Structure 1
């Protein structure tokens, strides 16, 4: 304990004297956080589907945090490969092509160009942005598949899969929609429900329909290669949940986000199932085996291999060995993704990597939750989104402003929300009024008083020492937060340096003291410029364009993280350049324009009524037993955020009904309500509870539910006819 106190006391002695280094006194102590012992880093950002443009939800979820982390690593001098590219295979591409009555190639060529340009204009620092429709990827993916096949990773088996008789084709997962068995969302896909995030198979869907023709598909026999994931549950649990594997597969669960491990644990505990690794499609990477005509690799086998393809191409260009980044024990693989991709990057792809032998498993998968927009889920189909390329056109030169706001509200542990008013407030009140104001004051006053030359400090008072001690402690806080993937916290620490400088100048008022104590002002301005120079380092990962302006104004070499490890961040006598405004205010008119654009989209969407379902005959309708039911009890189903277990009275008896409405109502809202109920629906087990009917609700195009209430005077069990 004595030793600990000695360290603490020594630290405070040092930091209180740190600025005396200017006068050749004691050097600044360096307590910088160590990232890891990795020699090199392979950082990937989720491959965006080349079937539509990028919106700010994509940026906040995966690409901005990945870019911040990579810039942080590179500023430390680390060996980093930052990999991304367009995902150009799979059913989503062919679906878009069919809807637009064109070819998949035309779709991917168009949207790859739009996406790549948006990334470039936004300033993403990818080392390579590749695409998965090229011959090099086809070769890599087929080689990967053949290696897995040789290692007996797959089971070839026949099964009955959905077939669209109108179109004469087997239906890939995304070609099938139906009702999700877990949350009752009627628009769930055959591989995933995008409303509740559950991974599904086409057989799970209730009332499946072909998205191509709208017809009810039939089952038809086909043959595919399956990955028996259930055979890998033990080592996945040991690796992911328990952290028991050693060597290059060592993993500390406490380093991973709870939302990521929680979803993985739920999958494993629920029992993994075999999953087909091939599909009956005419667009994608052909299966490189005999008797496989008309079959391609499943997109979630094909797409992650795109990371490998891109790494190889980049490494060839740099005259490096790509295998060092994927297979070396002193390399770390880190995936940045959204929460809807967790299962693929943490379970399916790791199984494939391990079976291929020699590949590293991911050291971390810092997945984010979803970003909402103005109180609603971002929806590409409803055009309820802020598209990146449109933002860049409407706000030219304001890339850093968007980076700042999206990082400030990043959905790191739960869904968060972007609003245009909040965007305006953060830019004007934080970037302009705090960061921009401080830097402008410091540089303008230096030119006014000292013709742009950094003054030497005189005697430091207690306030000066405290301010400098705090300033020198901030970089370590930023570094620690970044190393733990806490980007919001890291940005707050970085901005605290600007707030510190702004408050220091406001409190000391050098523009007043210059009239009475010119020597004191030299010390004040020296400290202000020291803080300004330090801002270049702590803000570099977040605001690269702003830092480049600071470099130019301060007439300093481009900042790195090592800059912050120097005892002095800017030398006395150094000549700086003239000040320029770092930021300009976002005007009300600009925000009103964006809000009006969304309002017009919302108005257009509200005018759209869901299409009618197929006609049914009177006899079929007569089979439906609709009754008035009174909700007596409502409780949440354990381990589910979507489901309520309800006790309902239908007059002759009380029944249990499980309904995926927990996101729309609270239990107290429902108890005592009289609602319509389909009483003769066959019982179905949901989360182990037998549901004995279905309650009826109205749903608008924004997926909001409303109770279809009955007259309170009508007795329970009264029939509806």
Structure 2
């Protein structure tokens, strides 16, 4: 156990481990906030430990052949080091996929046992709807298929250990064999302005709302150039503005715009002739030929950030070529050389439209329209595809710069939660509520609990005398700040053990807009033990 107190069953967000409920340090019900208690039950288990040796071999061989990411390998090694244990794959719930065997009343399949199987089921259903009952096999059982799982780090174990072991189990007993993942290029987490996304705290923005304000390509480019490939990264509004203004608009957009303006003004909106080449021309043509291959290799190796950087580097090279060639000078002194410059610039733009298409598809589509051509095959994009005399389309501005006040408005919204339109919380009866005994209590002492950065041990005076309460507020209060405060507690909770300490109640607290917990206090005029009505 890594010690993370907010780990939930079955998975720990911090270390990725799967915990049995009994292994959780500080379990809390999401519905009631209370500490759950264990009940005896029976479950069906998957013999995961039986597959450890084969899974280790599978991961090692896949890494040798396909170069798995180090963060993914670390997760796998950690699991293997601890030793794989047989896992319960059923749950006692009234919702979920029912276990389809006799004597399994009230049992459903564990969600992550059946969810990964849903990949196959969904493929089968798709082809069934098309009247092709066997088409799904091309995706899951054809040896020429490359199965690659693009996921977040919290799902690594399910796609590198759990699902592969399930497929191994099937393959052992059946003639039709399923493919195992070739690679699992999992990313780390993306945060927002230095914090985790939180709808309840108003920290973040919905995609729909974002797209009402800004173009999709600007967001796609910013996210792709800042993917959390090896460590957590952050989305910052100011960085988004800089990516849009300084890179998309000032580099790519500027190069495309100035080239088209020149072609329409001086060459009647047509692709001019490519004449005798000089060194600067051959160097730029070499860039056109080399960048697609370089970018393709990076994408094939899941280095998307580096690939996006090289895409923009080709645009930078195009801008530099335009500047160094000085077509505004050569149009007057050497029109043939100017013609060659604009020809090569237009070919560069065609190549840019192709290589950028996976990241900014809507802008690439516009560029193809401006060039009056259709997209081609990646392997051919470095060749000269624009013949002299080809009629160009109408040019347009690709990217609009975002002003500071627009960004400031978004930053100022952070942490401000709008009133919810719905109240989606389970309702209880008055009878249920009347069972809760809320009492005032005075905190007599407070101290930290060893090996816990969240829990405090409180001694309070309330109805029936003094009692001990373990409260998860250590990150929000120093012990000495609580002594003497009159607070409200739930007095009739069943005692629960937290970090080896018995807790005889719960202190009520309210979270503010900054995520800080504040204990609910009452006037000193209220005596300890007073009933809260």
1:200 to 9, 19, 23: 19
Q: Deviations over 1:310-333 (max 9, x none)?
A: 212333428462112111222121
Deviations 1:20-57, CA, capped at 9 Å, x for gaps: xxxxxxxxxxxxxxxxxxxxxxxxxxxxxxxxxxxxxx
CA–CA distance in structure 2, aligned partners of residues 438 and 370 of structure 1 = 34
Q: Residue 331 of structure 2 corresponds to which residue in structure 1? A: 514
Report the alpha carbon displacement of residue 561 of structure 1 after superposing the two structures with TM.
1.2
Instruction: Summarize the Cα distance change of 1:627–1:263 in structure 2 as closer, same or farther, 3 Å threshold.
Output: closer
Matched, 1:505 2:505: no
2:355 matched to which residue of 1? 538
Q: Give 1:422 shift.
A: 0.7
Larger radius of gyration: 2
Matches within 5 A, 1:55-204: 182-185=2-5, 187-204=6-23
Given the alignment, which residue of 596, 609, 620 partners 2:412? 596
**Who is 1:528 aligned against?**
345
Find out whether 1:558 has 2:372 as its counterpart. no
Q: Distance in 2 between matches of 1:533 and 1:626?
A: 67
1:219 equivalent in structure 2 = 38
Contact 1:278 1:297 in 2 (8 A): yes
- SS where residue 115 of structure 2 aligns? helix
Contact between 1:444 and 1:578, CA under 8 Å: does it hold in 2? no
When the two chains are superposed, the root-mean-square deviation of aligned CA atoms in Å is 3.6
Q: Distance in 1 between matches of 2:94 and 2:218?
A: 43
Whole-angstrom distance in 2 between the partners of 1:614 and 1:196: 38
Aligned position for 2:57: 238
Match 2:240 to one of 423, 447, 466: 423
Shift of 1:602: 11
Kindly provide the CA deviation profile for residues 107-133 of structure 1, in whole angstroms up to 9, marking residues without a partner as x.
xxxxxxxxxxxxxxxxxxxxxxxxxxx
Matched, 1:484 2:301: yes
Which whole-Å CA distance do the structure 2 matches of 1:192 and 1:540 have between them?
Answer: 37
Superposed counterparts of 1:435-474, under 5 Å? 435-474=252-291
Aligned match of 2:390: 574
Q: 1:258 to 1:184 in 2, by over 3 A?
A: closer
1:239-283 deviation per Cα after TM superposition (whole angstroms, max 9, x unaligned): 11x31xxxxxx6636610000011111011111222211111111
SS at match of 1:372: strand
Distance 1:229 1:391, change over 3 A: same
SS in 1 for 2:288: helix
Q: 1:675 to 1:264 in 2, by over 3 A?
A: farther
Q: Distance in 2 between matches of 1:278 and 1:284?
A: 10
2:97 and 2:108 in contact (8 A); partners too? yes
Q: Does 1:276 align with 2:88?
A: yes
Q: CA deviation at 1:603?
A: 13
Aligned pair in 2 of structure 1 residues 433, 570: CA closer, same or farther (>3 Å)?
Answer: same
Deviation at 1:362, TM superposition (A): 0.3
- Using the alignment, how far apart are the partners of 1:490 and 1:288 within structure 2? 47
Higher mean alpha-carbon deviation, 454-463 vs 473-482, is at 454-463
Alignment of 1:317-716 (within 5 A): 317=130, 319=132, 321-357=135-171, 358-395=177-214, 398-564=215-381, 567-601=383-417, 626=447
Give, in whole Å, the separation in 1 of the partners of 2:340 and 2:188.
46
Q: Note closer, same or farther for the CA distance 1:390–1:339 as it changes in structure 2 (3 Å cut).
A: same
After TM superposition, give the deviation of residue 196 of structure 1 in Å.
4.9
CA distance in 1, matches of 2:406, 2:47: 54
TM-score using structure 1 length: 0.58
Change (3 A) 1:683 1:401: closer
Preserved CA contact (<8 Å) 2:4 2:12: no
Q: Output one character per residue of 1:677-702: Cα deviation in whole Å (capped at 9) or x when no partner.
A: xxxxx9989xxxxxxxxxxxxx9986
Q: Are the aligned partners of 1:460 and 1:523 in contact in 2 as well (CA < 8 Å)?
A: yes
Deviation track 1:121-155 (CA, whole Å, cap 9, x = no partner) reads xxxxxxxxxxxxxxxxxxxxxxxxxxxxxxxxxxx
State which drifts further: 281-290 or 590-599: 590-599
Q: Is the 8 A contact 1:536 1:559 kept in 2?
A: no
The verdict on how the C-alpha distance between 1:628 and 1:296 changes in structure 2, with shifts beyond 3 A counting, is: closer
TM-score by length of 2: 0.77
Instruction: Find the aligned partners of 1:267 and 1:343 in 2 and give their Cα distance.
Output: 8
Unpaired runs of at least 5, structure 1:
1-180, 244-249, 605-612, 630-636, 644-663, 665-672, 677-681, 686-698, 706-721
CA–CA distance in structure 1, aligned partners of residues 85 and 318 of structure 2: 57
CA distance in 2, matches of 1:614, 1:486: 57
Q: Relative to 1, partners in 2 of residues 1:346 and 1:704: Cα closer, same or farther, differing over 3 Å?
A: farther
CA separation in 1, counterparts of 2:76 and 2:512?
32
Correspondence 1:261 to 2:73 = yes
For these two proteins, the number of residue pairs brought into alignment is 454
Q: Hey, what's the Cα distance between the residues in 2 that align with 1:371 and 1:438?
A: 31
Structure 1 residue 560, shift from structure 2 partner: 3.2
Deviation at 1:474, TM superposition (A): 0.5
Match of 2:249, SS state, is helix
Name the structure, 1 or 2, with higher relative contact order (CA <8 Å, separation 6+). Answer: 1
Task: Spell out, residue by residue over 1:364-396, the C-alpha distance to the aligned partner (whole angstroms, 9 max, x if none).
Answer: 01000011111112224433222111111222x
The SS at the match of 1:559 is coil
Q: 1:360 to 1:616 in 2, by over 3 A?
A: farther
Contact residue 370 and residue 416 of structure 1 kept, 8 A: yes
Deviations 1:469-502 (A, max 9, x none): 1221101100100000000111111111111111
Is the Cα–Cα contact under 8 Å of residues 202 and 415 in structure 2 kept in the other structure? no
Task: Report the CA distance shift for 1:501/1:293 in structure 2 as closer, same or farther (over 3 A).
Answer: same
Partner secondary structure for residue 18 of structure 2: coil
Contact 1:407 1:487 in 2 (8 A): yes
Going from structure 1 to structure 2, the CA distance change for 1:279 and 1:451 (only over 3 Å counts) comes to same
The answer (yes or no) to whether the contact 1:534–1:569 under 8 Å persists in 2 is no
